[in-house]
Structure 1
Amino acid sequence: MGFIIRWVFALILLAATYNPTEWNYVRWSMANYEKSLSLTVLFGLILLVGYIIYLRATLRSIGVFGMILILAVVGTVLWVLFDQGVVSYADPTINTVIGIVALSLVLAVGLSWSIVRRRLSGQADVDDIDE
């Protein structure tokens, strides 16, 4: 259940930043930055904090190689689904949604990886040492 919660929050973070609808930060800020510059900056900083939390945890737990590997697995699954006729990439809206879901999976795995590794191996990760 913990992984699903992390994935949902990553999905919300990415979809709030950009999605194919008009309800996203990028389109809203481009339309309203002159009238509401303070709100644009505030919401942008809130999104930035979310990205820093997810990206820092992901880079510390699986690194760039792990991120590429997970994207490769997700890409291969999408390739299989395309070859089997389950999905079609003709619609740009669907492509954007697939990209958001794929990136959110990478961030969720990165945030959850230390927990998974600890359960599989029985060893805890220690990144910082208090003196």
Structure 2
Amino acid sequence: MGFFLRWMFAFVLLAATFNPTEYNYIRWATTNYVEELPMTVFLGLLLTIGYLVYLRATLRSIGGGGMFLILTVVCALIWVLYDWGLLSLTNTNVNTWLGIFALSCVLGIGLSWSLVRRRLSGQVDVDDVEE
């Protein structure tokens, strides 16, 4: 359940920033920044904090190579689904959601990787504190 929540929060973070609907930060901020500048800055800072937490943890746990590897695995899965005819890539909205899904998988796995590695190997990271 812990991994699912970490992945879901990453998905919500990415989707709140940008998605193909009209309900996202980028679209809202570009149309309302003049009238709502303090709120635009505040929400932008909250999103930035969320990204910093996820990116720092992901880079520390799996690094850039691991991020690339996870992204390629997710893209290969999308390719398999397309090849089997289960997925059509002609709709740009679906493609955007697939991109958000792929990036959220990278961030969710990156944030959870230290916990998974500790359970599988029994090894504790140097920066882990006893719970």
TM-score, normalised with respect to structure 2: 0.96
Aligned to 2:20: 20
Residues 1:81 and 2:81 aligned together? yes
Residues 1:124 and 2:124 aligned together? yes
What code does the residue aligned with 2:23 have? W
Which residues of 2 match residues 56-75 of structure 1 at below 5 A?
Answer: 56-75=56-75
Between the aligned partners of 1:20 and 1:126, the Cα distance in structure 2 is: 41
Identity rate, percent: 61
Aligned to 2:40: 40
Between the aligned partners of 1:51 and 1:85, the Cα distance in structure 2 is: 34
Aligned length: 129
Q: For residues 23-43 of structure 1, what are the alpha-carbon distances to aligned partners after superposition, in whole Å with 9 as ceiling and x for unaligned?
A: 000000000000010100000
After the TM superposition, which parts of structure 1 deviate over 2 Å for at least 4 consecutive aligned residues?
Answer: none
Structure 1: gaps spanning 5 or more residues: none
What code does the residue aligned with 1:59 have? L
What code does the residue aligned with 2:81 have? L
Structure 2: gaps spanning 5 or more residues: none
Residues 1:52 and 2:47 aligned together? no
